[in-house]
Amino acid sequence: MSKQPNVNFQRSIDQGDRLVPVNLRQSGDPGIQMLISNRVRKSPYWHLSVEAGCWKATVYNRMYHPRAYVRPEDGGAMEEYRALVNDVTLWNVAVERPIRVKGPDAEAFCNHVCTRDVTRVPTMMGRYVVLCDEQGHVLNDPVMLRVADDEFWFTISDSDLAYWFKGINHGLRYDVTIDEIDVSPLQVQGPKSEDLIADLVGEGVREVPYYGLMAGSIEGAEVLISQTGFSGEKGYEVYAYDSTLHAETIWNAILDKGEKYGLKVIAPAHHRRIAAGILSYGQDLDHETNPFQCNLGHMVPKAKEADYIGRDALERTRELVNQGQPPFTHQLVGLKLGGRPIEDYAPDFWLVGHDAEGEPCGWITSPWYSPELGTNIAMAYVPVASAALGTVLVAWLPDEFLDIPGQPVDAVVCEMPFRASVNPSSRERAKAAGRDHAF
């Protein structure tokens, strides 16, 4: 086969463990303009993002999702990156669409659908969680917030969690209500985020721990603040109650207070979340991915007493993995890549192989350039037998990123995260404590 990217189905890559293979045809960016219509929802902040210069968007949870503000001629995504790691940034992430589970059985219901032990989560704290089907495949990986003893919010990734919750409870009959609510999150991320949020809601926010919550108000509008984010930097999320009514109030207050800190409105920082080893649903995992396959095996606890959806399948997978017989063909790994700096989103799952003369055997999900490491980094699925740290592979990138056109670049399997986060992840905390699982 030609080593140049092409639109042929990649028969050499074993996807026999999937019902619907990942589409690995290399079609590139066709330059098609997105249609803006009323079939897809606009969040309460959509017009404010447009005013702030949003020029590129995608669709996420059936909402328009801003993905670029700084124009390429002005530095593009890497200028947004510099603002994030040096100052403070504001993100429109209303597409996270909080789903509320409320009622006398809320804790029991959430404990049944989450792999982690929800009973260990105090009120006004949160957790990163995964929710699996009966086969142990990940249906969503949201941030769960416990805002009251009987009330939980799930700020969801890109899949329909509310419909699944309602379907599950139709048979189980837990005493809960399940609804999407008019609460639209914003993220304030970067090293100056704490000072900015303190200016907005008071000094008490400095005492909020990682994944902790605090109730407050901004210009008279009720908000919930969490110390969470999608960046690996210090950061917060601002959940505006009745956001359809208060969107302008919240947004403009953050802009006004942020001016002295050099605040910049940017898109969700995929370049930084890749470095932090944070996964993007639909890109790095989907509804046919097992947690042990995508670096989330630690999210399957060993000490949880209550039963939960997918438990039997996940425990069986753990046994097979420990026996060296995983029930999947490919494993998610970190890669350091050669080639010229990748400074924008990849339009395809670029291909990975054992060597320049052979056939592709895997695919890259999330590539970007790391200024701190001085190299391209990526997440990728490679054959399980090739997932060991230090394994040398090759990657076929578009010609614009190749040192020699038509010749793949070196790709070396390395540990994730690629660089330290301000707040270590649950995976890092478990590892530091000598555990291979979170609680």
Report residue 99 as tokens.
């789903």
pLDDT at 3 over 50: no
For the segment 174-188, the average pLDDT, to the nearest whole number, is: 98
Q: Which residues fall in the annotated binding site for substrate?
A: 237
Lowest mean pLDDT, pick from 194-198, 332-336, 378-382, 401-405: 401-405
Q: Which residues fall in the annotated binding site?
A: 237
Q: Same fold for the domain at 103-171+290-328 and the one at 183-261?
A: no
Q: Which amino acid is at 296?
A: L
pLDDT at 430 over 90: no
Give 198-207 contacts, CB < 8 A, sequence gap 24+. Answer: 199/257, 200/253, 200/254, 200/257, 201/225, 205/236
Phi, psi dihedral angles at 83 (to 5 degrees):
-65, -40
Report residue 159 as tokens.
């899949």
Query: pLDDT > 70: what percent of the chain?
Result: 99
Report pTM.
0.96
The per-residue pLDDT for 432 is: 86
Work out the pLDDT band at 408, boundaries 50, 70, 90: very high
- Whole-angstrom distance, CA of residue 339 vs CA of residue 28: 18
CATH tag, 103-171+290-328: 3.30.70.1400
- Whole-angstrom distance, CA of residue 196 vs CA of residue 203: 10
Which CATH class name applies to 183-261? Answer: alpha beta
Every domain of the chain and the residues it spans = 103-171+290-328, 183-261
The per-residue pLDDT for 1 is: 35
Contacts of 79 (CB under 8 A, 6+ apart): 70
The per-residue pLDDT for 6 is: 62
For the segment 356-375, the average pLDDT, to the nearest whole number, is: 97
Q: Which residue has the higher pLDDT, 425 or 323?
A: 323
pLDDT at 156 over 80: yes
Work out the pLDDT band at 7, boundaries 50, 70, 90: confident
- List, for residues 310-353, the tens digit of each pLDDT value: 999 999 999 999 999 999 999 999 999 999 999 999 999 999 99
